[in-house]
Structure 1
């Protein structure tokens, strides 16, 4: 058994409730594994900061239903307790999906909440705790709870967490309204003025930028010790692995000796799926983490580079001032070093970043384009078809990824990597991605490699072509 934390809509406090549970469990020295529904990078950072264990993303668009079951089984069985944080509202998903993914459907052969929290709860056969924002509710809370309880009989609502309760009188009204439903109230969180996680243009501010985070986690743990019905919650959280043939473990090393890969990881670059990093290591890579913000050069003796997403625009001045690092990256790429750059990484490889104030900051200068910040948000799942053989995939290969950024490029590539379309309606989104030089894969599309192990295999294959250190 494990538990899914779901919301009746976005913004009701799922992440706060999840972190409060995790913080209180860790204070009790409990070993807990967390998961996050969807493609998000930042919420998992907070999970990991609290638990000390990498949070795993559960996303059937980026991977598959089978992969989700394998991933959950593998990682939950290594902990005492397991907790899944949902995405958006419980039933908010997408209604259109490729027919070749072997999906579980309802009696009518349709799934209108694909990739939703409810979809994952059904897939893993887990009970759900529904978080309700009660700040502007009293008697109507019962209608909301009843609707979610009865909407899909396959979903077991184990209980409710009432968030943003204003007073004892308010709580009494809520409890009186909910009593006929016989839904357990598993937690009550009062309105909190001293617990706020700052955010900005792409969501929460990442953990590495919050010097007061530990104090915040302590306050959450204090809250969790008193606001939850632990006698009811602990048995629900107890981890029991799903029976599964764990294909995730069946990865043969690609080489008989470690292949060193420089992975940019600091405040500017920190959007990585842990499964991607794990796969590289399982295939024979030795990951060497470095900082384009702080380090004067890339690590020695590496055969490839990996730049994840993040917030290079926030740290554009510091990145620009580290001239030696920028020059080292450009020189290595021009000398043929295989390099993967996603979103923020792509921006770093461009000629310059133009920030929200219109200031220009020079970057590595590998790609003949500039990244311009704007108020427009590009967001959504993508179906991407490779237009040519490139560093990661062969021509005509289809991959599924996710875009989430507020920048655009001043020039588009003459020989793009992908033709992209929206995942849910096949609307053509145009061509994108840079593959020149040929040893570069730079794209706005974030990829999860769990269901496509050929991608890291191909990357390491190209890295092995680089002359070994010392030659």
Structure 2
């Protein structure tokens, strides 16, 4: 693996989960955004909710950097591409700095991403219950992997001036800059629930919270030292030890979608053709319109996925199953992302006109792509967290029930049959993150699933009746652009059939 050299940008890492790296990240982003409209953020891993907060702080989409769902090269090119017009760049890590997809290595960890991008790391340390021991923690993180450059530390949850003096004295011997200090009373709590933070759409007071975070950012950090680390020169470049690479246009970011062999213990998936923008096609290809469900119930979308659809030629129409009176009548396909339909089951059920219209359109052959929350909405009934049943669309012959069990992790998926978007035998990587289950298993499932690092399948999952692709598996199409291409193809077919009718 060659080392990518980027002009600048900073990774925010925690010494473990729960130390306050999201608060630190948002404080920095909110403060930067008050002086620049070109603050580009990234999130390590498959998370959807933290990037929502980034976007609210900066006004720009936050992009996920995940070498398992995509590839190491995709991570590098994505960072370069998204930073090409940015003034500042910041990457929020995941869990502890060296915590990877398994306990056996740091693959897909914050440290892995920092090495791939050759970016410095700002380490956030929870000092709430320690003093001199901070030296052992920081020294250990600084020396464990010499390829990871820790540029400084943020001391969080500092109790008093005397406490701060003790921490500074302990760290003086290793000559590592303290670039931020947050006191215990500085804590700004973000509400959470069963799948993490409450999404931004449900927080009416979020602008006030971001203003407080910006004030915290201005007051608690060493900006003369941080600004050079965060700043992006006017024309960033990406290079490797042996070659120079351009900033790639969007449609070429999907080259090399399979994760390297050192990222998996499963067979390497085949490389599908990357998507390309058509150049003066003759005759011109029709522009399919894809209706994307976007509201408080459906909000889990990777920005890359939407960008890839648009780059391939789709027109995206955003609508709300919660509030609109009908689905967009001009739609040639439907895209339901994940989210929290269980929190809005009563409202979704009450919008009977939309549910009935969707069921009729689906039975008439309208193509549908649905992930996780989208699958739950297409089911016959959704039993919510209180045990109350609510009627849903009824396009899938199963009920969905919330449970107390969290299903979480990367999955290697094998397509068991040829379906709307997949060929039998096709393999890809996805991620599961849900606390619900279907009561009736699919008669012929879409996928056989293996956990990351496992040798044998552990589950069969996914539905494909009518022209539906519905699964709990979240996909990043930077890692499987063929799925996006196939979706565009079936939507174009539907568009043409409507024109000919």
Q: How high is the TM-score relative to the length of structure 1?
A: 0.95
Would the aligned equivalents of 1:76 and 1:241 in 2 still touch at CA under 8 Å? no
In structure 2, the partner of 1:26 is 33
Q: Distance in 1 between matches of 2:153 and 2:368?
A: 47
What is the distance in 2 between the residues matched to 1:232 and 1:57? 26
Q: Deviations over 1:7-60 (max 9, x none)?
A: 000011111100000000011235210000000000000000111110000001
Change over 3 Å in CA distance of 1:18–1:469 after alignment to 2? farther
Residue 94 of structure 2 aligns with which residue?
Answer: 87
Does residue 208 in structure 1 map to residue 201 in structure 2? yes
Could you tell me how far apart the structure 2 residues matched to 1:470 and 1:167 are? 74
Unpaired runs of 5+ residues, structure 2, are 1-7, 240-244, 253-275
1:457 aligns with 2:485: yes
Structure 2 residue aligned with 1:291: 320
Q: Is the 8 A contact 1:269 1:310 kept in 2?
A: yes
Report the 3-state secondary structure (helix = DSSP H, G, I; strand = E; otherwise coil) of the residue aligned with 2:86.
Answer: coil
Offset at residue 451 of structure 1 (A) = 2.5
Instruction: Give the aligned partner of residue 471 of structure 2.
Output: 443
User: What corresponds to 1:279 in structure 2?
Assistant: 308
Measure how far apart 1:469 and its partner are.
Answer: 5.3
Report which stretch shifted further, 116-125 or 29-38: 29-38
Deviates more, 1:236-245 or 1:369-378: 236-245
Partner of 2:346: 317
Correspondence for 2:72? 65
Distance 2:450 2:165 in 1: 50
1:170 Cα deviation from its structure 2 partner: 0.8
Cross-structure match for 1:46 = 53
Residue correspondence of structure 1 range 307-456 to structure 2 within 5 A: 307-437=336-466, 439-456=467-484
1:229 has 2:193 as partner = no
Residue-by-residue CA offset, 1:273-313 (whole Å, 9 max, x unaligned)? 00000010011100000000001110121100000000000
Asked if 2 retains the 8 angstrom alpha-carbon contact of 1:347 and 1:371, the reply is yes
Give the Cα–Cα distance (whole angstroms) in 1 for the partners of residues 186 and 490 of structure 2. 52
Partner of 1:190: 183
Q: Displacement, 1:192?
A: 3.3
Aligned equivalents of 2:426, 2:487: Cα separation in 1: 15
Cα shift at 1:247 = 5.9
**Closer/same/farther in 2, CA of residues 30 and 261 from structure 1, 3 Å limit:** closer
Deviations 1:421-441 (A, max 9, x none): 10122342210000112x100
Name which of structure 1's ranges 12-21 and 87-96 shifts more when overlaid on structure 2: 87-96
Give the secondary-structure state (helix, strand or coil) at the position aligned to 1:361: strand
Contact 2:81 2:249 in 1 (8 A): no
The 3 A distance-change label for structure 1 pair 427 and 379 is: farther
Distance 2:335 2:42 in 1: 24
* Alignment match of 1:218 (pick from 208, 211, 223): 211
Query: How far apart in 2 are the matches of 1:77 and 1:293?
Result: 37
Instruction: State whether residues 23 and 217 of structure 1, in contact with CA within 8 Å, keep that contact through their aligned partners in structure 2.
Output: yes
1:248 offset after TM fit, Å? 3.3
Q: Which residue of 1 aligns with 2:255?
A: none
Conserved in 2, the CA contact under 8 Å of 1:70 and 1:247? no
The 3-state SS of whatever aligns with 2:498 is coil
Query: Could you say which residue in structure 2 is the equivalent of 1:249?
Result: 251
Look up the match of 1:176.
Answer: 169
Q: 2:341 is paired with a residue of what secondary structure?
A: coil
Whole-angstrom CA distance in 2 between matches of 1:233 and 1:193: 20
Look up the SS of the partner of 1:395 in the other structure.
coil
Kept in 2: contact 1:298–1:329 (CA 8 A): yes
Cα distance change on mapping 1:450 and 1:221 into 2, 3 Å: same
Local SS of the residue matching 1:425 = coil
CA positional deviation for 1:470: 8.4
Structure 1 residue 149 corresponds to structure 2 residue 177: no
Give the CA deviation at 1:249. 3.4
Question: Does the 8 Å contact 1:70/1:248 carry over to 2?
Answer: no
Q: How many correspondences in the alignment?
A: 456
CA distance in 2, matches of 1:351, 1:469: 31
3-state DSSP of counterpart to 1:314:
helix
C-alpha distance in 1, partners of 2:469/2:325? 24
